[in-house]
Amino acid sequence: MSKPLVVITGASHGIGRAVAEKFAADDHPLLLIARHPEPLDDLPIERIRQASVDVADYEALEGAIRAAEAIHGPTECLINNAGFLRIGTLESRNVADISYEVDVLFKGVLNGIHAVLAGMKTRRSGTIINVSSIGDRAPGPEGEVYHASKAAVRSLGASLQKGEAANNVRVINVAPGLVKTNIHADMGVSFDEYCKRLGNPDFISAAELADIIFFCWKQPQRICVRDIVVMPTSSNFS
């Protein structure tokens, strides 16, 4: 039997790309969603669809998911990973930019869930994995909107898990910190400056985090890893 469809947002690079590679290696058909899709390189193009979609646009997101499902069957796993981090004092930031950050980080997660949840409930099977952040419980300065949005994602997942437990739908919150990606580019600083601001810590690779996300998915449907924090062992950040 062919394996079920996995939908990944923010899939063009970093964590999303590493997760796509992991699921592709396990022979899953994939829908990779990103505002700016990148070449698939060595990924199996016959089992992968790409969609240039902003997760803040519900109609476009739902349309891309329905199109993939028409070919590969219903979405069995949704990985909400799309996001970015902007820093700066709250009063200095553009209000429209702040609003868009909330649209992507929180409303984008809601949009993805809304597009797949009804089908999962009907089938009594499905997994929603929200890639949050250590900031969902340990906020820091100059990232107030990011941390507040991630806290909302964590709360949403916990509430949804309670509501959907009876429908056999898993909701998983993965809260990583110190993952080596290009998130510093969205912050407008170099990687060296980003490291300096964090105290030059050790980092987890995106591939290592993808292994953990895949582990959560591979558990039997009756087992749900509800909330997991992933940090370097050397870090005492909490």
How distant, in Å, are the alpha carbons of 16, 24, 96, 206, 223 from that of 21? Answer: 9, 5, 34, 11, 24
User: Does the annotation mark 146 as catalytic?
Assistant: yes
Phi, psi of 103 (to 5 degrees): -60, -40
What is the DSSP pairing of strand 48-52 with strand 75-80?
Answer: unpaired
121: three-class secondary structure by DSSP: helix
- Of 58, 100, 146, 194, which residue is the catalytic one? 146
Residues paired with residue 172 on neighbouring β-strands, in sequence order = 129
Minimal CA–CA distance to 213: which of 5, 23, 30, 14?
23
Structure tokens at 125: 């099977």
Q: Which residues contact 121 (CB under 8 A, 6 or more apart)?
A: 164, 167, 169
Catalytic residue ranges: 146
